[in-house]
Amino acid sequence: MDFNDTPEEATFRAEARAWLDANAELRRPDDRPADVLSERTSPEIIAASQAWQKKKADGGWACLTWPTEYGGRAATSIQNVIWGQEEARYRTPPNIFGIGTGMCGPTILTHGNDDQKAKWIPKLLSGEEIWCQLFSEPSAGSDLAGLRSTAVRDGDDWVVNGQKIWTTGAQFCDWGILVVRSDANVAKHSGLTYFVVDMHSPGVEIRPITQINRGQGFNEVFFTDVRIPDAHRISEVGNGWAVAITTLMNERASIGGGGGGSVNDLIRLAKSVEIDGRPAIEDSAVRQQIARFYTRIKGVKMTGNRTLSALSQGKTPGPEASLGKLVGAKVAQEMASFAIELQGAAGALDRDAAAQGGDWQGRYLAIPGLRIAGGTDEILRNIISERVLGLPPESRADKGIAFKDIPTGPPS
């Protein structure tokens, strides 16, 4: 049992650090916490993010685990993690490539043909082209396979109609991965097909969604007779669900429990406000609560270390990773709620009017998204109970029924 790098890992870390030292500036203690920086849509930020991705690609530090022929360095998963740890220590622009490099790229590398890989992967890796994901629909969230957008074959093309939702960054993306229904007469998982769509195609309309925190990270995307060449189909017709699963596995691996603020910030707050005329940090109830948060957050982190160890030993982590998001998002919400309560009447304020610049209020409004995106708490508990613990699946009201016959609302 050893938290230290193996000699190979240490060498790799030193190499990464050397490159970063030469190309970026270290973060400073008084930099704003990374988790409250959510703005990612201004042209300046996009340009900065692209420039940094290009620099990494040129230096051989983008998409480390991908094959060298596409610009990667065929690195191991643990090397990729080490890179991430090191990069996080530096001031870098917000990353707008997470979906492309974390989900789209790996899916194409797994299921795409050689032409598709050659066409898309290098520019994705270098940041020249930006990617998004088009899976969820207004009526297909947790029940993703219940999606209703359609694709109809027409000559060498497919014609797509329907609506997608929760598409991060759609307004500035070049390509999107898309799952649509190509056959409503078979069971719901059997009638799906997976495409790559050019986001600049005629008939693609993008409308930003305002979140409860007034952020606009997500979009609705409407498809009206959008034509996609059959050459942009990934895998076989009707095999879309299997391909989507690859994407989702990569998504869950990349969503952590972040965004919740640190116990350190909470301790700072508890030192700065009073309860009963004394600093809150001396209040026994406050201490018990903070200790509970710390214990759980550290538990999530140590569980992550167990996963890293498995990676380091060359194993593939499984659905156990759901724990981090399930526990982490809930603790984050409780912690923000508690921090607001600590502020007393001033907890009713926001932004600059509130303590610590309103960071806790901001988190409290952002965190519900964490508990929903990439699998709600309920979906994660289903995954854990069925795929980790092997418990029997839910009885399915929609099993073995043609998609068009599945109930979608109360009987009228």
Partner 1 sequence: MNFDFSDDQKLLQKTARDYLAEHSPLTVCREVLETDQPYAVELWKGAAEMGWQGAVIPEEFGGAGFGHLELAMIAEEVGRALAPIPFSSSVYFATEAILKAGSDAQKKKYLPALASGEAIGTFALAEKPGQSDVENVEARVSGGKLCGTKVPVPDGDVATFAVVAAQGDGGLSLYLVDLDTEGVSRESITSFDPSRSMARVEFSDASAELLGKPGEGAALVSHVLDRAAVLMAFEQLGAAQACFDDTIAFTQGRYAFGRPVASFQAIKHRLADMWCELELARSNAYYGAWALSNEEDELTVAACIARIQASEAFDDLAVEMVQMHGGVGYTWEYDCHLFYRRAKLLAAVLGTPAVWKHKLIDRIADAGED
Contact 217, 211 (CB under 8 A): yes
From its phi and psi, is residue 39 left (phi > 0), alpha (psi between -120 and 50) or beta?
beta
> Counting contacts by CB under 8 A, is residue 389 touching a copy of itself?
no
Stretch that binds a copy of itself, among 2-10, 285-293, 326-334, 366-374 (CB under 8 A): 285-293
251 classed as catalytic: yes
Of residues 11-70, those binding partner 1 (CB under 8 A): none
Q: Which listed option, partner 1, a copy of itself, none, makes contact with residue 364 (CB within 5 to 8 Å by class)?
A: partner 1
Q: What is the enclosing helix (H) or strand (E) of 409?
A: none
How many beta carbons lie within 10 A of that of residue 326, not counting itself?
Answer: 22
Which residue among 3, 28, 43, 288 contacts a copy of itself (CB under 8 A)? 288
Catalytic residue among 86, 87, 137, 251: 251
- Could you write out the DSSP letters of every residue in 364-394? HHHHHHHTTTTS-HHHHHHHIIIIIS-PPPP
Which residue among 184, 186, 267, 275 contacts a copy of itself (CB under 8 A)? 275
Q: CB 396 → a copy of itself: shortest distance, Å?
A: 9
Q: Which listed option, partner 1, a copy of itself, none, makes contact with residue 391 (CB within 5 to 8 Å by class)?
A: partner 1
> Quick one: tokens of 267?
């301790």
Contact 159, 225 (CB under 8 A): yes
Which residue among 146, 256, 258, 318 contacts partner 1 (CB under 8 A)? 146
> Counting contacts by CB under 8 A, is residue 22 touching a copy of itself?
no
Cβ-based nearer residue to a copy of itself, 290 or 355 = 290
Cβ-based nearer residue to a copy of itself, 24 or 275 = 275
How far is residue 24 CA from its own chain's centroid?
25
How big is the site for partner 1, counted in residues (CB under 8 A)?
114
> Counting contacts by CB under 8 A, is residue 316 touching partner 1?
no
Tell me the pairing of strands 150-154 and 90-91: unpaired
> Counting contacts by CB under 8 A, is residue 266 touching a copy of itself?
no
How many beta carbons lie within 10 A of that of residue 62, not counting itself?
Answer: 23
> Counting contacts by CB under 8 A, is residue 1 touching a copy of itself?
no
In order of 51, 285, 328, 379, the CA distances from 257 in angstroms are: 28, 25, 4, 16
Cβ-based nearer residue to a copy of itself, 158 or 338 = 338
Residue type, 377: D
Q: What is the CA radius of gyration of the chain?
A: 23
Stretch that binds partner 1, among 89-97, 116-124, 241-249, 293-301 (CB under 8 A): 293-301
Q: CB 169 → a copy of itself: shortest distance, Å?
A: 38
> Counting contacts by CB under 8 A, is residue 275 touching partner 1?
yes
d(CA 79, CA 7) in angstroms, rounded, equals: 12
- Which of the residues are catalytic? 251
